[in-house]
Amino acid sequence: MRIDQRIIEQWIQPNSRVLDLGCGDGTLLRHLADHKNVRGYGLEISPEGIEACVAKGVNVIEQNLDQGLKNFEDNSFDTVIMSQTLQAMRYPKTTLAEMTRVGRECVVTIPNFGHWRARLQLLFRGRMPVSDLLPYEWYDTPNIHFCTFLDFEILCRDMQLQVVEKAVVTEKSLGKRLSQLHPNIFGETGIFRVRK
């Protein structure tokens, strides 16, 4: 599992109901079911992801998240997870509102487009950054909304959502220390626990 998924696991209560939006191949939901006895569903749009979920025994629904979560009632889940997907949504604010409607709590993981390497590439090369963190060219990226950790926290504040807990993930050891001092510059991935 990815490091952000290991942090998410720590924030999920045993025996809870979980909805994983953009669940990919179902790895996180399968792990939570096996280790935390969660009950839940994954929503995924890619046929490959759906097939992988089915092979893992994960309850998966084919659904375009940009069309909302109208098929779920208010507070249907204890936790709604969206890992590395919010920046690819057409209307992230609407998606976040829907998440907080159907879940008592939400966990959102986002890449930091304000990371120092991205800033330097844009400054010195004059081109949109391409890196391990952001591996796509501007014309073929699934990421359509670029934000920093600070941008996400301001969105939560504007929506009157409480950031209960947050964690910053950085792979390199020097970056780990610096990301604690200045997460918006040195953090690669942000994990936010949010509720109304």
**What is the tens place of the pLDDT at every residue in 109-143?**
998 888 777 777 777 877 776 776 667 776 776 66
Express each pLDDT in 37-91 by its tens digit.
999 999 999 999 999 999 999 999 999 998 989 999 999 999 999 998 888 889 9
- CA 29, 31, 33, 35 torsion-angle sign: negative
CA of 24: how far to CAs of 11, 81, 126, 156, in Å?
20, 12, 33, 25
Query: Which tokens hold the place of 51?
Result: 């097939």
Q: How far from the centroid of its chain's Cα atoms is residue 123's Cα?
A: 27
CA of 86: how far to CAs of 17, 33, 127, 177, 191, in Å?
21, 23, 23, 26, 12
Whole-model pTM over 0.75: yes
Spatial distance between the Cα atoms of 64 and 196, rounded to a whole number of angstroms: 24
Domains annotated for the chain, with CATH where assigned, are 3-112+144-195 (3.40.50.150)
